[in-house]
Amino acid sequence: MMTNFDVIIVGGGPAGYTAAIYTARQKLKTLLLTQTSGGQMVYTDNIENYPGFEKISGVKLLEIFRKQLSQYSDAKIIEGQKAESLKMKDQFFKVTTDKDKYQGKTIIIAAGKVPRHLNVSGEKELENKGVSYCPTCDGPLFTNKSVAVVGGGNSAIEAVLQLSKYTQEIYLLNIGPTLSGEKIRIEKIEKDPKVKIIGNAQVQEVFGLKLLEGLRYKDTKSGQIKDLKISGMFVEIGYLPATDWLKGVVELNKWGEIIIDEKGKTSLEGVFACGDITQVPYKQIVIACGQGAIAALSASNYLQEQQ
């Protein structure tokens, strides 16, 4: 078991990094524990609504967060570990990961969300063989090829904008009749000759021998079943909160999000939460950062009260 910490922050996205910066500035012995740093932010090529930057990539913004946190000797980052349980033991919280165990006087949960899957035939078998959930990571692999993006919101539209730099042809399959993202971005892809928007499209299955070769979808308006020949499919239909390991530990809403109050407190005293994993609406980087600051200050006040 690692040395005891004042604060353990689970999750390395914008909320987690902001919380760590704030707790470290309070001279609290801080552990930032995460599978990967950056969260959904690093999958975004162009962030245009974060104050202070007219345009910046998620990867670059993460670099700035990391550099800022590195100034504080009271903060330690451990990556590559997935939190699996949270328990109270001898007035300490114990976080168990897939590799180790850690103890802290207080916990901030900022684990964010994970991509939602289509759960159709062939999807699991062809994951990383043409089926992807990260256009930033895998987009260049499909240079001059035909791909499909499944989804109709901002994440799907952002994926199309990123993939347009590499691919030859993009099919955007939306289960609804119209797209629901930002109007400015929708206008961009509507003008892109590479992009074909297909509404009322429900993916039925994906297929291929060793690599993805195509997908089959149903036109929900006409009832027709149609095939598309593609080399890549990017699933962008939203995200699920990463709270499986917290069921029965803190109160969750019907969507699996952690319920918090205005100070970031959960139903378990000494445990706070922030960012996309909570029930707070409008999942935005700037909001996650604000919540991270609130959770950190609340955790600091909690420790002072305990003393």
Say whether 289 is catalytic: no
Q: At 86, is the pLDDT very low, low, confident or very high (cuts 50, 70, 90)?
A: very high
Amino acid at 7: V
| Domain ranges for the chain | 5-115+239-306, 131-235
CA separation for the pair 243, 172 (Å, rounded): 30
pLDDT for the residue 44:
79
Exposed, middle or buried: residue 147 (CB in 10 Å: 0-12, 13-18, 19+)? buried
Q: What percent of the chain has pLDDT over 90?
A: 88
Specify the CATH number for 131-235; select among 3.30.1300.10, 3.30.470.30, 3.50.50.60, 1.25.40.80: 3.50.50.60
Q: What percent of the chain has pLDDT over 70?
A: 99
Note the CATH number of domain 5-115+239-306.
Answer: 3.50.50.60
Mean of all residue pLDDT scores within the chain: 95
Q: At 1, is the pLDDT very low, low, confident or very high (cuts 50, 70, 90)?
A: low
Segment 29-84, tens digit of pLDDT? 999 999 999 988 887 777 888 999 999 999 999 999 999 999 999 999 999 999 99
Say whether 6 is catalytic: no
CA separation for the pair 76, 130 (Å, rounded): 36
pLDDT for the residue 240:
92
Instruction: Judge contact between 298 and 39, C-beta under 8 A.
Output: no
What are the two backbone dihedrals, phi and then psi, of residue 251, each rounded to the nearest 5 degrees?
-75, 130
- Look at residue 219 and give its three-state secondary structure: strand
> Structure pTM?
0.81
Q: At 251, is the pLDDT very low, low, confident or very high (cuts 50, 70, 90)?
A: very high
pLDDT for the residue 136:
79
Q: Which of 74, 134, 192, 219 is catalytic?
A: 134
Segment 169-222, tens digit of pLDDT? 999 999 999 999 889 999 999 999 999 999 999 999 999 999 999 999 999 999
Q: Which of 6, 138, 274, 289 is catalytic?
A: 138
Domains 5-115+239-306 and 131-235 share a fold: yes
pLDDT for the residue 137:
79
pLDDT for the residue 2:
61
186 Cβ contact partners less than 8 Å away, ≥ 6 residues apart: 157, 179
Site of tokens 């378990």: 268
Q: Which of 45, 74, 100, 137 is catalytic?
A: 137
Say whether 137 is catalytic: yes
Pick left, alpha or beta for residue 139 (phi over 0 → left; psi -120 to 50 → alpha; otherwise beta).
alpha
* Mean pLDDT for the stretch of residues 113-122: 94
